[in-house]
Chains A and B, each alone.
Chain A
Amino acid sequence: GAVVSQHPSRVICKSGTSVKIECRSLDFQATTMFWYRQFPKQSLMLMATSNEGSKATYEQGVEKDKFLINHASLTLSTLTVTSAHPEDSSFYICSARASPSRDNNTFGSGTRLTVV
């Protein structure tokens, strides 16, 4: 079945630094990937839609200059949290759909970001 790998699973960084999170589709090509953020005891919030070879589409209220998304190939999308602050500490999850004909989205295992 479709597998999405996310790396790293956990990261701790200092305030003011940047952190890159990778999302890879292991056995399929994904022209579109999705990035979510989840705070403790809350639901997943869609941040942006990552499109291969073009600019990401951000949801309302998400700062595109703070959360940089790059989707340079059909199997890799990256999310960079720039100038991280403690309030950016969260669980970041990516998702992809194997093909338009496949009915379900596959999710990565998530990245726990802690900014100290």
Chain B
Amino acid sequence: DAKTTQPTSMDCAEGRAANLPCNHSTISGNEYVYWYRQIHSQGPQYIIHGLKNNETNEMASLIITEDRKSSTLILPHATLRDTAVYYCIVRSRGGATNKLIFGTGTLLAVQP
């Protein structure tokens, strides 16, 4: 699996948009970009994923650059409950045995 690089930590003011970057310069053509988050002492939670087009769901938006070497997760209106470690993972889509390998992630601290 391709490796990802994320900032160690970020701060965001409550109510503002949180933009979390991720570099995945060695991503291959069949690999998707997945985002998960982990609130303290809980299991990870799926947020969103994409291949090359931008994606949006009820939780977040995912912007993938045209060359697919980086992406940004956007939480449009961050709340205190969004404080968590956010993991960007690249993985090929198919197969039930596909493993998710976690990097170090970004600790997002939403400030009141």
A-to-B contact residues, CB < 8 Å: 4, 6, 30-32, 34, 36, 43-46, 49, 51, 91, 93, 95, 97, 99-100, 103-110, 112
Classify the secondary structure of B's interface with A: loop
B-to-A contact residues, CB < 8 Å: 32, 34, 38, 41-46, 49, 85, 87, 93-105
Instruction: With CB as the reference atom, state the residue of chain A lying closest to B99.
Output: A46
Chain B residue numbers with a CB within 8 Å of A99 are 96
Classify the secondary structure of A's interface with B: strand
Instruction: Kindly state the separation between the CA atoms of A94 and B93 in the bound complex, as whole angstroms.
Output: 20
Instruction: Kindly state the separation between the CA atoms of A6 and B32 in the bound complex, as whole angstroms.
Output: 28
Number of contacts between A and B (CB, 8 Å)? 57
Q: Assess whether A32 is in contact with B104, with CB atoms less than 8 Å apart.
A: no
Instruction: With CB as the reference atom, state the residue of chain B lying closest to A34.
Output: B99
Cross-chain contact of A108 among B43, B95, B97 (Cβ < 8 A): B43
